[in-house]
Amino acid sequence: MSEVIDFKIRWGMVIDLDKCTGCGACMVACQAENNLAPQVDASNKLRALNWLTVYRLSNGKSFPDHEVAYLPRPCMQCGKPSCVSVCPVVATDKREEGGIVSQIPPRCIGCRYCMASCPYHARYFNWYDPKWPGDLDRTLTPDVSTRPRGVVEKCSFCHHRWMHAKDAAILKGEDPMDLPDGAYITACTEACPNGAITFGDLNNPKHKVYELRQSPHAFRLLERLGTEPQVYYLSKREWVRRQGDNYLEHEATGDNKKV
């Protein structure tokens, strides 16, 4: 597994699962922003291509004690990404300041090792030619190239938005490596009507995520695998936190040792 590189900036998310109601606005915004092709039939979820997926969680109890929660799952942008070490063509890497795991579709040979190694199922394969029926291709954004069939793709934390934010900072004479909180946010963060997603630099005490990730209610998915995800979740509910990893019965969640 790759070693963790100590980046000065680590872009990350803190997603409050007690605020997410599963409407899907984040998924729609993500598709539109990143030029994902619409799919006529996306009912086969193994073939549907999403950079961000919202899962429904259940506390496993019967009616009327049943509770429900929703979990949006982007790429975790792991500190030790298991996808990077298996890629035979360096189509995915984690070297750039900011700690975003890159994905370079023109280099990808479609072997899908990265998909097998990603414990979060955050990577998707283009099983079909991307198609924008009729005039739908008129709404493509200029920021993200379209990808052909046969390559793997994934969430980039809307990397182009970071580029734009840096450019804007330079034009204003500010330090592009010390962006104020909110100067760069992802499309899903922007779209969430419930404000469930908070985005920022996990290393920067001036950013809200710095404080939120240290909450006793914060956790990361499967963090005992040692992948060091840069996406944190928050929930005051113990049963929600327990679904973040394979806990034994006597193990409790809710501490902040992971920070």
Partner 1 sequence: MNRRGFLKFAAGGTVGLVASPIIWNTLYDAVYWSQNWGWIPRVPRGDSTYMRTISKLCPSGTGIRVRLVDGQPVRALSDPDNPLSRGALTALAAAETQLMVSPARLKEPLRRTPDGALVAISWEEAEKLLREKLAEAGGSTACISGDPTSTVNELLSSLVESRGSADFYFMPDDEQAALAAWSAMGGMGRLGYDVDNSDFILAIGANMLESWGTVARNRRNFSAGRPAGQEARVKFAYAGPVQNNTAAGADWWLPCRDGMEMELALGIAHLLIKAGHAVPSAGLDDFKALAGEYTPEKVAALTGVDAGRLAEVAKALAGAEKPLVLVGSALGAGGGAGAVMAGIAVNMLLGRVGAEGGLVNLPFPTPVVTGASDYRTVVNRNLIAWSQSVASGETEAPRVLLIYDANPLYSLPSDSGMEEVFTRSGFKVAMASFLSESCARCDLVLPAAMGLERFDDCYTPYGSGEVSWCISHPLVKPFYNSRPMGEVLISLAKELGVETGVKDMPGLLYKKAYSLGANFRKMVESGAVFQKKASGAFSVPVYNTDAIRTALTLKKEAAPLSLAPVVVLGMGTAQTGIPPFATKIITEYQLAGHSSVAQMNAATADKLGVRKGARVTVGNGKVKVPALVDIFEGVLPDAVALSAGLGHTAFDEFSRNKGSNIMTLTSITREPGTGLPVWSSAGVSVDKA
Q: In the range 187-246, which residues lie near partner 1 by CB under 8 A?
A: 190-191, 193-196, 198, 208, 211-212, 215, 217-218, 234
Name the residue nearer to partner 1 (CB basis): 217 or 242. Answer: 217
Q: Which listed residue (42, 90, 116, 259) binds partner 1 by CB under 8 A?
A: 42
Q: How distant, in Å, are the alpha carbons of 31, 78, 230 from that of 221?
A: 23, 11, 10
Determine the Cα–Cα distance for residues 69 and 50; give it in Å rounded to an integer.
20
Site for partner 1 in 114-133 (CB under 8 A): 129-130, 132-133
Q: Which listed residue (90, 121, 127, 141) binds partner 1 by CB under 8 A?
A: 141
Q: Which listed residue (149, 178, 226, 259) binds partner 1 by CB under 8 A?
A: 149
Q: Where are the extended beta strands (E) located within the chain?
A: 11-16, 53-58, 68-73, 92-93, 102-103, 123-125, 152-154, 197-201, 218-219, 231-234
Name the residue nearer to partner 1 (CB basis): 130 or 176. Answer: 130
Q: How many CB atoms lie within 10 A of CB 246?
A: 10
Q: Which listed residue (8, 95, 146, 163) binds partner 1 by CB under 8 A?
A: 146
Name the residue nearer to partner 1 (CB basis): 66 or 206. Answer: 66
Rounded to a whole number of angstroms, the minimum distance from the CB of residue 109 to partner 1 is 8
Which letter, b or e, does each residue of 79-99 get, where b requires 16 or more Cβ atoms within 10 Å of its Cβ? bbbbbbebbeeebbbbeeebb
Question: Is 254 a binder of partner 1 (CB under 8 A)?
Answer: no
